[in-house]
Amino acid sequence: MKHIHIWVFGICFSVLFLCACSAPPEPVGSLLSKACAKASNGDWLGADTLARQVLKQENANIDALLLCALARSNLDSEREAIDYAMKAAELAPGNFHAQYIKGFLLYKSGKYDLALGPLRAARNLREDDLNTLILLAQTSYVRKNLIQSAGYYSLLVRIPKYGNSPLPWNGIGVCYAQSNPRKALAFFRKAEQLSPYDPATALNLAVLYDVHLRQPAAAKSYYERFLRLSTGKAEYDSIRGTAELRFDSMKGK
């Protein structure tokens, strides 16, 4: 019996020792602050790890769910990212960030039809958010709803920050390029007036003159201008090859 008492005492001592050494979980607020700091510095793996720790304590914490959604997206786990965002939007339908991030991630993954609903919900919750408006314009365009897309871009034009930018004017022009190329030309000209050295505007004018207005001389001039303005700008590398081929094919014409 003496050995049994010693064995039981040993178990009790181990339990007491473990309890004494187990620190209480870090407060949720502290974990979220650290996770946000990690995300701000581009450490998405660290942000994801900390946000998951929050979810172990509060599995319906909206901020943690959204941090996990953004982290998984930046870690190329789009399916998981969307799952987190959808759960956040379901739990908090009146939360702007939940709706916007859900719409953004669906758009990013090419699920344009599904992206429209949460993006519209986000706009209803915060009408002055420019990112939502831009995404709605782009999503509508991809879905071939050109009139709606032009309408969203027209709303951007009314905002001083964007009214003096070529972006919305180019957006409206692209929407009308096929159905009304002369109208599109007016919008592209406005974009060119606001930003004469914008490569995107030069390319839009090149394609408009080439494909829709059938004016090869003007098209050739703008293809050349685009190639000159886009030199050294990585964001245009994927389209420069096509533009160069088209420009070369027009030489001598």
| Over residues 196-225, mean pLDDT | 96
| Over residues 199-225, mean pLDDT | 96
User: Which of the listed ranges 58-62, 198-202, 244-248 does the model predict with the highest average pLDDT?
Assistant: 198-202
For residues 90 and 208, give the distance between their C-alpha atoms in angstroms, rounded to a whole number: 43
Distance (Å) of CA 136 to CA 17, 73, 110, 160, 234: 58, 20, 14, 19, 26
For residues 46 and 239, give the distance between their C-alpha atoms in angstroms, rounded to a whole number: 35
User: Domain boundaries in the chain?
Assistant: 27-130, 144-253
- The answer to whether the beta carbons of residues 48 and 71 sit under 8 Å apart is yes
pLDDT digits (tens, 9 = 90+) for 120-142: 999 999 998 999 999 999 999 99
**Whole-structure pTM value:** 0.80
- The answer to whether the beta carbons of residues 110 and 140 sit under 8 Å apart is no
Task: Give the count of alpha carbons within 13 A of 76, CB side only.
Answer: 0
> Is 144-253 in the same CATH topology as 27-130?
yes
Task: Determine whether 10 is exposed, middle or buried from the number of CB atoms within 10 Å of its CB (0-12, 13-18, 19+).
Answer: exposed
Report residue 141 CA to chain centroid gap: 15
For residues 64 and 32, give the distance between their C-alpha atoms in angstroms, rounded to a whole number: 7
143-149 long-range contacts, CB within 8 A, separation 24+: 143/112, 143/113, 143/116, 146/175, 146/176, 146/179, 147/175, 149/175
| Over residues 90-106, mean pLDDT | 97
Place 7 in a pLDDT band, splitting at 50, 70 and 90. Answer: very low
- The conformation of residue 28, written as its DSSP 8-state character, comes to H
Place 239 in a pLDDT band, splitting at 50, 70 and 90. Answer: very high
**What CATH topology corresponds to 27-130?**
1.25.40
- The answer to whether the beta carbons of residues 202 and 209 sit under 8 Å apart is no
- The conformation of residue 165, written as its DSSP 8-state character, comes to S
For residues 247 and 226, give the distance between their C-alpha atoms in angstroms, rounded to a whole number: 10
**Closest by Cα among 169, 239, 50 to 223:** 239
pLDDT at 224: 96
pLDDT digits (tens, 9 = 90+) for 11-62: 333 333 443 445 567 888 888 888 889 888 999 999 899 989 999 999 999 9
Q: Which CATH architecture has domain 144-253?
A: Alpha Horseshoe (1.25)
